[in-house]
Amino acid sequence: MLTQEELKQKVARAALDYVLPLLAPDVVIGIGTGSTANLFIDGLAAHKHLFKGAVSSSERSSARLTALGIHVFDLNQIDRVPVYIDGADEIDAGLNMIKGGGGALTREKIVASVADRFVCIVDESKLVPCLGKFPLPIEVIPMAIAEVSRRVARFGGTAALRQGFTTDNGCQILDVSGLRIESPAELEAQINNIAGVVTCGLFAIAGADVALLSTQQGVQTLYSPRS
């Protein structure tokens, strides 16, 4: 029986195999945040001579990339990236996701928006029949915390401020528990329209294009029904 860490290592390797044919001297790729993304970054370092550099969804990932000798570009310097590699906290069969457990959800959404393909890398524990068991992160302007908490309660959720945490954008995170998200794109739009919300951690209006799912039987490739 493989441990979760071993499953993460296998899917990070599968993501590297997926990306290698896309690398070229003028290519910049998008890279996310989290423990599985870190394993991908570590593997990518051995191939840094094959591509131009990366754009990153967090200061943490940028620091890791830089330390390994991979040049990190400001996204304002880049028009498109061929691929964005990132993990998820939950993902369903439609490749809708909850992301933001590490607090980088806004920058993750921004980098994903300029990618030709979003490849989500997860272990089998993250695949769920319905999103919502993992608390939904919402990045919020600090003065709106109380009002956003009240508004989210109308959807049946209970919001808790993530204590001692500030995002790379200088905002705060509300983690919303108690949701059963049967229409993720609709809920994403509704929450994002609340004044004071920067963005929520639902990636459903634009979900993943491909998921590499690490299981005890090997790494499976899932494709979005939107593709």
Asked whether the beta carbons of 131 and 155 are under 8 A apart, the reply is no
Q: Is 45 annotated as a binding residue?
A: no
Q: Is 126 annotated as a binding residue?
A: yes
Q: Is 34 annotated as a binding residue?
A: yes
Q: Give the angle subtended at the CA of 108 by the CAs of 160 and 84, to the nearest 5°.
A: 150
Q: Is 123 annotated as a binding residue?
A: no
Asked whether the beta carbons of 201 and 99 are under 8 A apart, the reply is yes
Residue 90 known to be catalytic: no
Identified catalytic residue from 108, 124, 139, 186: 108
Rounded to whole angstroms, how far apart are CA atoms 54 and 48? 10
Tokens 């991979």, residue?
70
Q: Is 101 annotated as a binding residue?
A: yes
**Residues with catalytic annotation?**
108
Indicate the annotated binding residues for substrate: 33-36, 86-89, 99-102, 126
